[in-house]
């Protein structure tokens, strides 16, 4: 049978031998194949990647300053984790699982910050506003985060002490960062500078946190638009 690539000017290169291939550690998760729970936790432990994609999607669709500030805090939280790991230099419980140091757990610190900041945002205004239930969102986010944190221990990537330290760091940083945003940036009018510069106007940056009952307000704006359109 004639080789289909023989007549091509640039035939594809042959695949490299398997012994020199490596995996992308960002998404590579090892687990026990005969344990159904390990397989579930192996998927759950990738949640930080899904949340990061969610940040970007929400940011692109809403252009909301609150999302930008929360995402900035998430990145700062990761930087703090990087510094702490290289200060403590504590090894992981298993040498062949995961790269780098294990104390504190970056997954735990990531999820703890995310859950804590989300809960704060849910309860920062009147819980009886009739909009998204802060109780439901908070319970879902906290349970999700706890499962991800536990997955790091179940999959032998971290010890209980390492995930506990990461969770504590994430929670404390979320509270401190939110206080900094509210008491320093917003109270001193920094959000107005962020909203009034030329780039913010170009991308139509908004700050929905300043609007009470934002879902009701957006619905009213939509109804007014429909009325004008149909008149």
- The whole-angstrom separation of Cα 117 and Cα 29 is 27
Residue 7 lies in a domain: no
Residue 2 lies in a domain: no
Residue 172 lies in a domain: yes
What number of other Cβ atoms are within 10 A of residue 86's Cβ? 10
Distances (CA, A) of 83 to 76, 92, 103, 161, 228: 11, 16, 10, 18, 55
- The whole-angstrom separation of Cα 207 and Cα 70 is 12
Residue 47 lies in a domain: yes
> What is the structure's pLDDT at 126?
47
> What is the structure's pLDDT at 169?
95
Q: Rg of the chain's alpha carbons, rounded to an integer? A: 23
pLDDT digits (tens, 9 = 90+) for 100-146: 888 999 899 999 999 999 999 888 754 444 556 778 888 999 999 99
* Nearest Cα to Cα of residue 112 among 152, 63, 151, 148: 148
> What is the structure's pLDDT at 79?
95
For the chain, how many structural domains are there in total? 1
* Nearest Cα to Cα of residue 106 among 88, 121, 119: 88
User: 22 with 31: CB under 8 angstroms?
Assistant: no
- The whole-angstrom separation of Cα 219 and Cα 64 is 17
Residue 20 lies in a domain: no
List, for the chain, all residue ranges whose pLDDT scores fall below the cut of 50: 126-129
Q: Say which DSSP state 209 is in.
A: G
Residue 8 lies in a domain: no
> What is the structure's pLDDT at 83?
95
Residue 107: domain span: 36-230
> What is the structure's pLDDT at 145?
93
- The whole-angstrom separation of Cα 23 and Cα 97 is 13
Distances (CA, A) of 127 to 13, 151, 156, 212, 217: 60, 32, 39, 12, 16
Residue 15 lies in a domain: no
pTM of the model: 0.81
User: 151 with 96: CB under 8 angstroms?
Assistant: no
Residue 18 lies in a domain: no
């Amino acid at each position: 049978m004639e080789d289909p690539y023989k007549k091509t000017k640039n035939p594809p290169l042959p695949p490299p031998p398997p012994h020199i291939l490596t995996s992308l550690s960002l998404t590579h998760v090892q687990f026990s194949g005969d344990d159904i729970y390990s397989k579930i936790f192996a998927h759950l432990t990738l949640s930080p990647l899904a949340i990061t994609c969610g940040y970007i999607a929400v940011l692109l669709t809403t252009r909301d300053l609150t999302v930008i500030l929360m995402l900035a805090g998430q990145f700062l939280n990761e930087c703090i984790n990087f510094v702490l790991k290289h200060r403590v230099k504590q090894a992981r419980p298993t040498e062949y699982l995961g790269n780098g140091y294990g104390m504190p757990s970056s997954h735990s610190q990531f999820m703890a910050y995310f859950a804590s900041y989300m809960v704060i945002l849910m309860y920062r205004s009147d819980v009886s506003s009739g909009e998204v239930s802060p109780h439901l969102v908070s319970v879902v986010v906290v349970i999700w985060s706890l499962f991800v944190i536990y997955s790091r221990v179940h999959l032998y990537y971290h010890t209980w002490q390492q995930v506990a330290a990461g969770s504590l760091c994430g929670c404390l940083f979320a509270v401190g960062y939110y206080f900094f945003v509210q008491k320093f940036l917003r109270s001193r009018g920094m959000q107005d500078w962020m909203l009034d510069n030329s780039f913010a106007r170009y991308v139509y940056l908004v700050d929905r946190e300043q609007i009470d009952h934002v879902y009701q307000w957006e619905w009213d704006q939509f109804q007014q638009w429909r009325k004008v359109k149909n008149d």
